[in-house]
Structures are given as structure tokens and as C-alpha cells.
Structure 1
């Protein structure tokens, strides 16, 4: 059998997750041990017993199990007993919403930090766009509400709320949800609760109170998080740690009043799942006393992380209003000396505007535009109730000297480095240790994922940097793909110094050719084996006007990274010997990479270089990421304002060709159409089902002999356009003057073939010859994209035979041997002869064939 199961005596969440898993594994059967929770049985009887059918192990005689799917964060000793004989031999998959499973005990683990199992499973169903019926949506929603206590438990995550909204949109019945959401402690749970109360003691560490309690269980009690939540409110403690010995492992639950408290240090060495206000740690194969000793030691070392920001922040803060003209903000900055100011809209913090962006905006003629149009919406903030360590961490990660403080969404103050020094002793030694660990991880990635020769080359680049006193970094896409585990040999080096001198010094040790690009302060190094390394001077770019190539000036690595197109491409790895492998991430780039987010670093990014619009779509589709919400707003805005029209056709064509070279270009083309980009690149382009079919065929069949793919793409998109519109496309992109004629001929041939196909006739060599002949390659590829798979094969065979089966008799022979005069008659005879050759006429019968045509037999 193939089985889906969960813990014995499943509750709503357990069984609902089983039925959600059934959507993913339709050939598996749901089998449970024991009777489900009574309310679950009642729910199924009332709503749809025929839809929610399951087996019980007690009613089966298992002879074998080939595949086992388990839902729920459960220990090995909670698996149904009848499965024990089959566990070693079957394929085992676990869906673990808490992320505490020991992965090596399973063939596959799907995990995450969710409040419920049903959230994890529904997130997958939603992503795969699998059908969920209203009855199933109701079942899943009841489970979700009960497990999170109406989204009030501290284990509740944003994803739980998102899935709840999604299920309601699918027809979940709130009436049923309300009816089944009532929850009360069972007798067994009340006994566990009393045990926690009896074992509670309160520690005071450096003025901070932490309530501690513990208990031992054979298996994890049902509803344990509800118990801990009730304990939390009963004790009224700001901070609570609960230790539980379960089987051979120990769980530790950290509950804090403020959601920003970071338990990662306190529970270091554990497998950790983090929720708002709440953390769950799991220590495998250890005893309770050892874990308690370790946590208490860590607690004493990190207790200052519980000190709140509001205790050390400075207030008030100078601000500007979102509707204020840019020129007014410039005056305020000049008068106060501030290089950045928070932006307030409707009484709330909505962004931050920098002096750099103000100056650029004025340069681009935007001095009367409101500040909100050039402000950065992503602001470095921290809540007033957050621990001071959270503010320190944000400063370190973002290379900032300050963080704005919010109190219930309202700007309340600012915390600076000097405030931190007053409020808390920084944990420099621990931060340095973490930095060393991260650097070690990067070095390991480099040495594991790259060829030894390339690793040696990177290290030698760092040696050269040391030799001439220049900080040396590898940057951009190489770093991004290294962190993603993808191959990338496009190596961009940035040095804090003269790139030309660096390249020349490097060239003394290798047989290379150096090509200098003075206007961009870069030098390209070409190796004989084809490898190319581009070396650039760390620079910042400024644009004289929108959409033109930038001017550059000397700068530092941070400014150099800030000018990059997107955050995922704005990281650097230092190559100098003493810091080889040090990752520089000033703007939360690694976090975006891990979340799969495409984000611009500043609001004028698309204005200064609109080709980034196409790049955003290319990266989004290549990596299956998503364009961050505000970045997407900016993208749509500047597309609608015709910024793409300000870019030269050649630069747009270059970006289009890069999109076409992607493994799945059609995904990006569809996304460009969805965002309105395509119509700005090719006005009046036609994107319908036939267009998508033709593009799919073309990209699937594309061979090395294909002409420039951008021509074929444009021909398919513009096949219904007027000659006048096509002329403008030719001028814009530098297409051949024949381009409109190619489309006209291709469409004429396609229409003729379509008529024949519609009549039900089979396409043959004769039809292809009489309709198509052999025009330009661009037309041939257009026609091939028009044809389905069967007719495409016929067409390709026709073209190959047309090339191979050339008549031996030529026009000259017809004139000399048969006495014909130059003119149309010769062409007609040669055409008939060619067609006969296609249909199998042997070489030695050509002369008699011509004689028959001339009536000379």
C-alpha cells in the first residue's frame, strides 16, 4: 500500500492535513491509528462523510507499505504502531510545519515555520494551483482556526492568515467554522497544565524576570501550544521558558512579551523554529539537565537583548512631509546638514528621502515633484518595544549609523550608535565569531562549487590586491549564483583603486590580453582559454539625464554596490588574503535572495536605467522569484510613463536577446505582456493563444542554424501590424529593411497553408514547393513555428530534400541542348523538374522527363 497518516487519535489539523496531502498524492490512502478527536468525527458526519473517507489501521491487515507520507511535527515514537515492520523498507516523506524533524530519518522532508500543518500543506496546494472544493476549504479552515485559537496563539504566522483568506475565497463556510471553533482543555491537558504551574520558578537576571518551568512526557501532549499560551497568561510573566523532555529529545519553548526578542542566541545549538513572540527549540538525543544548564548560561550572557529600545532612544526627530516638493526638502537638508530625513504621510512614517536622491531628482527636472515620488519606502526601523540588540543587529547588517523608532506605527525617535553605547555593551566578540563562521561558509562554497583552477585564480586576484594595496572584491551575479549553488563564470572584480593598474599588475603573472575602457574605469582581462575577467574601479554612477549611459567617479565598495540594479546583485566577496571569503551585504541582499525577492535599492533606479525593467522580469522568471511589491509599483509606473521609449533601441534589443537566451524565455515574454511592457517594446503587438503556441514551438525547436531569434520573436508578435508601424520598429531596433517584407510573405504563406489544413488535406512536398519554395531563413522559421509537430517534421524533411535533390539539368543545358530561349518557359520547366526530383525522379531520368514536358518524345 501507499499510505498517508499522522499521529494516533488525530485532531482537526492532523486529519485535515492528511486530506490536503491526498491532493498531492492521489494514489495514496489515508490510514490513521485510533479514533479521531470526537469533534472531527462529528464534523465529517455533518458536512460530507462520502468526501472525507479514511481507513483505520485496526481494520486493515498490512502486508507491505511501499510509500509512507506523514503529516505533522511528530516524533518517531508517535508513528502508528502497525507501521513499525515497514519503516526500514518503504519510502518515507514528512510534512513538518514546525521544522524540528531529524532529516536523516526520512527520504524527504518538507518543512517550514507555520502555525499549523494545514498551512504548510495548503501553501503547497496554492502554489501548485491544485483544486480545493468548498467542502475541503471548510474542513481546512476549521482546522486552521482551532489550531491557532482564532489566530490568537503566539505560534500564529502571517502565512496562517494568508491561507485563511485563500480558503475563504474558495468557498469555506464561516458558519461551520464558528460552530466548531470552541476549545476547552481536556482532563489530561488540565493535569499537564497543573504540572507546569507546580514546577514554575522565576529567575531575575540583571533586573530582567524570566519564568521557568519544566515537565517530562512520553509523547508530545496534544494541544501543547494552547497549554503554554494559557500558562503564559496565567503567570503574567514578560518572559517564559518551558522545558519538556519528550522521548529521547528535549523541547524548549521561549515566549516573550515583545515579538522582537531573538531566542536564537539563547537556544543556540538547537534546531530552532521562530514565530512572532515565540520560539521552539529541539535538542536531539540529550537529557533535560544538560539543556537547562546550557540555556541558563546563554540566558545570562544574552539577557541584555531584553532591554527595550525606548529606554535608550533619542527624541524628537526632524522630518519632511510626503507631499512637500523636492526643492523644499533640499532646503531643509541644506539648512540642517542632514543627509537623510524621514518622510511623514497622514501622520505616519512612509519612507525616507536621502540628499543623494534629492540632488539627482533636481538634476532630472523633478524639483517640483512631491517627495513621496523619490523617497525610499524601505526604511530601517525598529519598534520602541524591541530589544536594543535588534537595533544593533539592523545597524550592523545594513551598515547604518542609526535606526528610526516606531511606537504603534508612529515615529517616536531615533536610536544611534552613541545611544547603543549608552544603553548596552556591544557583544563584539560574539559578532566577530559569527562573522568568522559566515566567512568560513563562503570559503567552503567557493572551494566546493568551483573548479580548482578558478579557486586559485580568485585567491591570486586577492594576492595581487594585497601586493599593490587595493581592497579586491568579486561582485554581482557571480556572488548571487554562488549563494544559490548555480554555476557562473562571468567574473566581475571591483577594486578600491585604479582598475587599469590592477589589471596590468595581474597581467605580469599570466599570458593575458588587457583591454581598457577608460570611460567606465574598467579593464577586461582575456585569457587564452576563453576566460574573461572584468576589473572595475569601485565607482558610483550619476546620470546626466534619464535613460542615458552613466558618468562614473571614484567611490567605495559600498557606493559601488548601491548603484547596482537589484539587491540580489549587490553583494561582494572580499578576495584579499587576510579576509578571503568575507561577504559584504550592506542592504539586506542575502535576505532577499533567500526569500526570492527582486528589489531595487533606490526609487529612481528605473528612471536612470529603464532597461532594468526588462532585467527585473528576466531575473524573476529565471530564478522563479517575485518582484517585491514596491519595486513592482515603480516598474509599472515608469512603464506607463514611457521611460522605455527613452532608451535606444539597441540597448533594449540587447536585453531582449538576453531574455531569449534564457532556458524558458516564453515565461518572461508572458510576464512582459502581463505588466504592459511588451506593448511599449513592440506597439500593437498581438499576444493571443496562437502567438503563445508559435513562440513555444519556435523556442522548443530552435536550432543552431536559426537566424537571430529576436527577428523571429518580433515577426510573431507583429504579424498583424501595418507596414507603417513595422517601419518604425525597423528604425528603432536597427532591423533589416526587409523585415516588413518578411512578415508579409510569411503571413501570406501561412494563410495558404492554413486553408489547406482546414480542408483536411495532408501537407506534401508538392504543396510546400508550390506554396513556400525556399525564401529567407527568417520566413522559414516563422512558418515552422506556425506548423504543429507532425507538419513541422514534414516541412523540415522537405527543406532537407530540397537542398539535397538538386536537378542536374540547368537553365544553360536547356538553352544549349534543347534550344530553348531565355525566359519564363525555362523557369517553368526547372520548377517542374525540381518538384519531380522531390517526388523521387532519378537523375538518369531527368532528360526524358524534360523531353516529355517539351513534347519531344
Structure 2
């Protein structure tokens, strides 16, 4: 009997390698030595892979095996019961593997071991060389193995051979839709919980000048795909080196990832009986507690990691750099080639910016590979000279958070200093706790925290404070963490009134909201799709509740995809640093401010700054928001953020926005107390020109906007009772100079409703007609003004007041607002009915005549109204006289 097998906890590469080996050994049977990962089990359920007739281990007579084909492993401890037959002389061993050598490797009679990204790559090469046919289904399964083990070709262990094998399989009909569905798996609730624990427990240690993150988690049962969660942790924190220890049931699983050559995680995992590559490795640890395993790991790390090489003056040289006009693709290739995470951007021999691996990876994700580095580089950076002091270097690396600090001599970049360079010099010995200096220098150790309890008590009403405290108490009872976040916290620090309260819960937001509503006798409106809810206390006070979540964008200007996560991930999805602040509500920490991203500093410096260089690519509406916040708070848009905004406008990303989203952001700007500076900034950044070709915020339009602002202020100061939509008045002014064809384009671009279009066109026509016709007459009776202006809404009348330069027109409209529009008659329809007037249009005619008579001063009282009717409608009195049952006349009766 020939048997093809692999390692326990088999993944896609293992399963695909087994099927590929079956093509090379057609008489062999396929047998898993133990369990499979969850994603692989799901694949078995969803696909037709059962046709390959995998046998159960218990159905195999090991005594009958004469050839054992091992794929994707050669470690004795990882093949389960097949370990029993390895050393039998009659059993022939064939090995196909891509893992580095270890001390417990099985020696094969045939051994094909290559340092490629996936074992299935090796087997695909052999299949191709031997001319063996593959069905599209088989090609798809093999492709799955390559994609999984190379991280969709993003892991450092990926080789050109992996790309070539995938290209061959694609030509054989591999279905990438199936590959995408299986490789990109949604996390289960259990996995989200474990990822959250990993994030909360993550600590960064400085070991021989290398930053190493260690995270731990403990659960009572086995949860699959632990390596996937560690990979997500690495991406969230942009970690170079991460070790995760997960206690599940009676053993501890170690998963390690490294992006730098100084840390060989395969070697370190071997100390625990595991193995892997220099960049990715794992091990299963028995007979140690979680704390013992962590202590042992720290000991191994201290003895295994070699110091980062240093020049005499801390800088690394020669400098690896990229030209400003190089493409994103070229820059990424340079970083991969030299295995660096950040580098200077040069132009004509002069440094003009910095670019990081994270920005390049996001740009590539958004398919912007052909754009230039100049468009996304950080142009806001600092440099030092050759004789800069250690204190200067430390200050710049910490406060400016640059991954590298360029060293300049005679105008030329002669070297760079990294945080790692600095730490290696400063720290020579470490205990098993992160050192204070390492904590301060390492952003992964943030957030910065401080108590603002006194500010909370000073700025908020007692009712709101009580609600926040009750929310925190409930979070404690449910074993959640609850935070007030975003603009509410920002405005609290700015001492600006804001009761638009957003609560983020590290837990089930809907369960939390329902529990709170039930215990406080209020309503909770829930949205299960996003796990959000609104607690309704009154018409004036509502509190939004959401589970911690993060968003990612499938393409530029797309609506975000939402997944649940931790507080830090939830805050990272927000637009600007000043909106990433959180306030702890749990009783033990109530009033503690949490700042992961330097929001306090930017509030103090009055700077609007995005969190990453692709922020406007992912959501171009942030361009308008940056302008709005800048003007509202009298802040300045940061230099780098301003450059990114201009690039995003020039790249046409706003044009990709849905019309309603674009309209909504414009409306929010026009709702500001004084939108004039913000609209001027929209023009400066080129946004107005995208709304309508040739639109500019010139002197004429600015004067119109200022008059509109004055009219709105007058209306509100007059305490006029009808609600006013001030933004619509400004919007009428914004589009008032456009021709009909341009108006149509704007309407279509902003997806305006038919009613909005018709009303706007009617307003423009009527306003021009009245200003050129009716208001040119020398005199107007009050009733004429009333009848002329009655069809207009207040917004349209204020636009007319701003549009005209004639004071008498404004005075007439003012009289309409204050004197004419509320005039009513003493006689009502019921009185006419009592007088025997048959119901019908005559009622409206009579009452309108009486209103006009009031407006023109012809009648003032009820008696005057009777007199008016007696003169102008005597027939009413005649009918009334006939209908009187008593002897008195109708006039006497009245």
C-alpha cells in the first residue's frame, strides 16, 4: 500500500500537496494523520473534494504500508500515528517539503526540499515537467495551497517559483473566485474575541535593539486558524516581529512572524519542538503554563536575537532611497529587495519626502501601482546633521514618529537613523518587562492616558454625567469596556457644547443597549446589521451605541466594509487624529482619556491631520470634512494632509463618490455658522470646480454669501417661529450663476430629487421675474406683497433678500415676515355656514377678500368685517335675514 499524508492540523497547502502527490503517485491513497484547520473542514463541506476519496486513519492497516509519501512536513512529531512506521526498513519514505531543516527531520529515500513559499509549488513544478494533465478543479485546489501559504503573495517567503506555479495553474483553469472565497474567511465570534484579547495583551519588548511584540491569550477550548489571527495582529500594529502564545485546552500554541532578518522565528520555534521558515513558524508546547511559556520565550529571544548593526554615529549607510517620480510598484520592489520599512524620497539629489511600506501596501491594495511616490510620500519630516546630539535624535524620532531620521551633510543625505538604531544604543540590558524608555519610544505601547475627570464634571450637565456613569456600571456588570468617543470627547476638551454622544462597547452593542433601555425605562432603536443602537432619552438627548468595529475599503471612494474589533481598531477607522480620542466610562477608570494616535497633541497644536496617507483615497468625503473642521475650530490642515487632499482631488477621487454622499458633505459645510471661509477653501482645493465646470468662489459669489449670512442671522435674531434650513439658502446662492445645462449636470451629479430640481428652477425664475417686474413698480399695496410672496418658503425669500441690492425690496419682504403673513380674519368658515352660505369655493374668495381688506387697512375688527360683507356681498345678508327664526333682524342678532 502507498499512502500520501501530511502534518496534523492540516491546512490548504497540506491538502493541496496531498492531491498533487496523488497525481504523481496514482496508486496511493490519501490519509490525514489528524485534524484539519477550520477553513479546510469548511472547504470539504462546500466543495466536491470528497471525490478524491480521503481515507480515515482508523481504516488504514499500517502494517500494509510499503511507501509513505510525506508532503508539507518531514518532522517526526507532526505526522501522528505514522511515526510508528517511519523506522521500519521495509517502508520507503518519499518527502516533499518547503520548510527549513530541523533536528527531527525524517530522512527520505526520495527527498525534494526547496525554500519556496508553498510545498504545492514544488509538486506543481514536477507535474508540469512530467506533462500530467490537471482538471480545472484540481488546479483550483492546488492554487488554494499556494495562495494560503504565501499570504496571497505578500509574505516575505514568497519566491518567483510560487508566482510561476500559480500562473501555470491559472492557465489550467484555476477558479480565482473559489480561491478568494476560501482564503478570505470571515472571523467567527470566538476568533474575534481571541483577536481582541491578543490586541489587549500585546506588549513590545526591546531585545538587543530589536522591537519584539509578544501577545498571549487563554481559552478553554480549541479555536482554529490561530495563525490567521496572529497575522491580523501583525498587520493591525504594523509589527516587524510578533510572537503569540495561545493556551487552548491542555496545550499552548506558539505562532511567530518576522519581517526582518535579525529575527529567525523558525530557529526560535525549534527550541519549543516546532519549526517553520525564518519569517513564519509555529510550535505546540506541552507541560508549561502560559506564564512559564512566556518566560521561556523571553529567555530564548535574548539568547537568539543578534544586535542590529550600527555605524559609529548611529546612522545606517549607504542610504536606500527612491526617486519622487518612481511608481508605487517600483518603490515597493526596492523595499522588498532591501527588506526595509521606510526610505527617503529624492529629487535631483535632494530629499523631498519619506515613504513607508505600510503606505505602499495600501496603495497597491487600492490598485494605484502606476501612480508616483510623490503623490503619497510624507513631505512633513525633519532631518538632522552629522553632529546632532542624542537628545535631538531621540526627540525627533519620538515626537515626529518618523520611522527613519535622515542625516544630512552639506545638503546631501549620507545616512538614516531608525528607532531601532536609537534603542540599540540606549538599551543594553532588559528584564522581562518592557522598559520605560522603550515604552515611550514605541508607539505600539501607546495609548497615552490621563484623567480628565474634572473636565467632565465641569463641562457636562449633571443629567448627562449620570447617564455616562450608568453606562459604565452596566459595562462592568456585562464584563464589557465602554467608552465615549469621537467628536463628543474632542469638543469636551475644546470646551465646546456638544451632546451628540457616541458610545463604543467592546462587546455586543445591541445587547448592551437593550439591557440599559430595560433598566432605565427608555426606548432603544437597534440596527442588527451593524450591531448599533440608539438610546432615546428625549427629543433633545439621544445616545448612539456601537460595538467596536473597523472599516476597510474595497476600492477608492467605496462605502466601507464593517467588521467588529477592539477600541483601537475602531478609532483607527476614523477620519482625523482629533476624532480618535476616547473617554473610559467603567467605574474604576471613569474620566480617563485614551489617546492612541496623538489626538491631544494635534488639538493643542490646532492641526487637522489624517491617520494614514491613503485616508482620502479610501474616503474622499474626508476632504470636505477636513475643510469643515479647519474652519469651525480655526485650526490649520497639516502640511502633509493638505498635500494628500490636493493629490486626491487631482486624481479624480471625488468624482467616484456617490452623488448623495457628495451632496451631504456640501450640505454639512453650508450648515456651519459661517460657511464662507470653508467654501473659499473648497475653491482653493479645486472641489468647487468638480461640482460644476468653471465654478469659482469669486468676489461676486463671496459678497452674495455674506449677504445670505446676514439675512439668516436677521431671520434668527427676529425670533421668527418657522424653522429655517439655512444650508438650502446658501445652496441656492452657490448655484444661482449657472446656466440651465450646467444646473442639470449638478443636479444629476448630486442625485437631487425631482422635487428639489423643480423647486430650485421655480425659485430662480420667480425671483428674477419679481426683481425685474413686480418690485420695479413705484408702489405696492400690502395685499399685493402678501399675495406675491405667499407661495415662497422662508429660505427662498431670504435668498431673494440677499439677491437684491435694493433696500426697499428687503423692507417689503421684512414686512411680509413680520406683519403680513400672520394676518387672519375674525370671521371663519363656520360663521359663513351659519349665515346660510353653501360650502364651496366662495368661502376662500370671501375670506381672502377680508384678509386683503385687513392688510390694506380697510377693516380692523369683526364689526368692520360684517360691514365689508354687507357692502360687497349683500346677498349673504339677505339669505341670513330669511333664515332667522326670531323676530329680530340678522344685524341685530349679530
Q: TM-score, normalised by structure 1?
A: 0.54
- Give the drift of 1:844: 2.5
SS in 1 for 2:602: helix
| 1:850 and 2:872 are equivalent in the alignment | yes
Aligned to 2:816: 798
* Distance (Å, rounded) in 2 between the aligned partners of 1:620 and 1:463: 36
- Give the drift of 1:525: 3.8
Aligned to 2:266: none
* Distance (Å, rounded) in 2 between the aligned partners of 1:413 and 1:771: 74
Distance change >3 Å, CA 439–CA 333, structure 1 → 2: closer
SS in 2 for 1:607: helix
* Distance (Å, rounded) in 2 between the aligned partners of 1:395 and 1:704: 57
- Give the drift of 1:529: 7.6
Q: Which of 681, 691, 701 is equivalent to 2:704?
A: 691
SS in 2 for 1:804: coil
Q: Which of 750, 754, 771 is equivalent to 1:737?
A: 754
Distance change >3 Å, CA 776–CA 312, structure 1 → 2: closer
SS in 1 for 2:498: coil
Distance change >3 Å, CA 791–CA 420, structure 1 → 2: same
- After TM superposition, the structure 1 = structure 2 runs for residues 598-613 of structure 1, keeping only pairs within 5 Å, are 598-613=608-623
Aligned to 2:635: 625
- Give the drift of 1:644: 2.6
Aligned to 1:406: 407
| 1:639 and 2:652 are equivalent in the alignment | no
Whether the aligned pair in 1 keeps the contact of 2:688 and 2:696 (CA below 8 Å) is: no
* Distance (Å, rounded) in 1 between the aligned partners of 2:386 and 2:544: 46
Aligned to 2:169: none
* Distance (Å, rounded) in 2 between the aligned partners of 1:758 and 1:794: 9
- After TM superposition, the structure 1 = structure 2 runs for residues 562-601 of structure 1, keeping only pairs within 5 Å, are 562-576=572-586, 579-601=589-611
Q: Which of 625, 632, 651 is equivalent to 2:661?
A: 651
- Give the drift of 1:839: 0.5
- Give the drift of 1:734: 5.0
* Distance (Å, rounded) in 1 between the aligned partners of 2:504 and 2:837: 74
Whether the aligned pair in 1 keeps the contact of 2:692 and 2:742 (CA below 8 Å) is: no
Whether the aligned pair in 1 keeps the contact of 2:705 and 2:730 (CA below 8 Å) is: no
Distance change >3 Å, CA 682–CA 564, structure 1 → 2: same
* Distance (Å, rounded) in 2 between the aligned partners of 1:513 and 1:411: 65
- Give the drift of 1:808: 5.8
SS in 2 for 1:544: coil
| 1:321 and 2:323 are equivalent in the alignment | yes
Distance change >3 Å, CA 472–CA 847, structure 1 → 2: closer
Whether the aligned pair in 2 keeps the contact of 1:706 and 1:781 (CA below 8 Å) is: no
RMSD: 4.7
Q: Which of 358, 361, 378 is equivalent to 2:360?
A: 358
Distance change >3 Å, CA 809–CA 553, structure 1 → 2: closer
Distance change >3 Å, CA 813–CA 794, structure 1 → 2: same
Aligned to 1:840: 857
Over residues 237-292 of structure 1, what are the superposed CA-to-partner deviations in whole Å (9 max), with x where a residue is unaligned? xxxxxxxxxxxxxxxxxxxxxxxxxxxxxxxxxxxxxxxxxxxxxxxxxxxxxxxx
Aligned to 2:302: none
- Give the drift of 1:552: 2.8
- Give the drift of 1:337: 4.9
- Give the drift of 1:622: 0.9
Distance change >3 Å, CA 502–CA 406, structure 1 → 2: farther
Whether the aligned pair in 2 keeps the contact of 1:660 and 1:710 (CA below 8 Å) is: yes
Aligned to 2:791: 774
Distance change >3 Å, CA 606–CA 465, structure 1 → 2: same
Distance change >3 Å, CA 611–CA 483, structure 1 → 2: same
Aligned to 1:106: none
Whether the aligned pair in 1 keeps the contact of 2:782 and 2:820 (CA below 8 Å) is: no
Whether the aligned pair in 1 keeps the contact of 2:708 and 2:799 (CA below 8 Å) is: no
Whether the aligned pair in 1 keeps the contact of 2:655 and 2:690 (CA below 8 Å) is: yes
How many residues were matched structurally?
A: 541
Whether the aligned pair in 2 keeps the contact of 1:522 and 1:536 (CA below 8 Å) is: yes
* Distance (Å, rounded) in 2 between the aligned partners of 1:551 and 1:775: 43
- Give the drift of 1:512: 4.8
- After TM superposition, the structure 1 = structure 2 runs for residues 445-524 of structure 1, keeping only pairs within 5 Å, are 445-459=455-469, 461-462=471-472, 470=480, 472-500=482-510, 503=513, 510-520=520-530, 522-524=532-534
- Give the drift of 1:366: 1.3
Whether the aligned pair in 2 keeps the contact of 1:808 and 1:846 (CA below 8 Å) is: no
* Distance (Å, rounded) in 2 between the aligned partners of 1:508 and 1:706: 34
Over residues 395-421 of structure 1, what are the superposed CA-to-partner deviations in whole Å (9 max), with x where a residue is unaligned? 555778x54242346262223346425
Q: TM-score, normalised by structure 2?
A: 0.52
SS in 1 for 2:502: strand
* Distance (Å, rounded) in 2 between the aligned partners of 1:712 and 1:781: 7
- Give the drift of 1:735: 4.0
* Distance (Å, rounded) in 2 between the aligned partners of 1:339 and 1:431: 21
Aligned to 1:415: 418
Distance change >3 Å, CA 393–CA 587, structure 1 → 2: farther
Over residues 98-141 of structure 1, what are the superposed CA-to-partner deviations in whole Å (9 max), with x where a residue is unaligned? xxxxxxxxxxxxxxxxxxxxxxxxxxxxxxxxxxxxxxxxxxxx
Whether the aligned pair in 2 keeps the contact of 1:807 and 1:833 (CA below 8 Å) is: no
Distance change >3 Å, CA 644–CA 840, structure 1 → 2: same
* Distance (Å, rounded) in 1 between the aligned partners of 2:794 and 2:753: 13
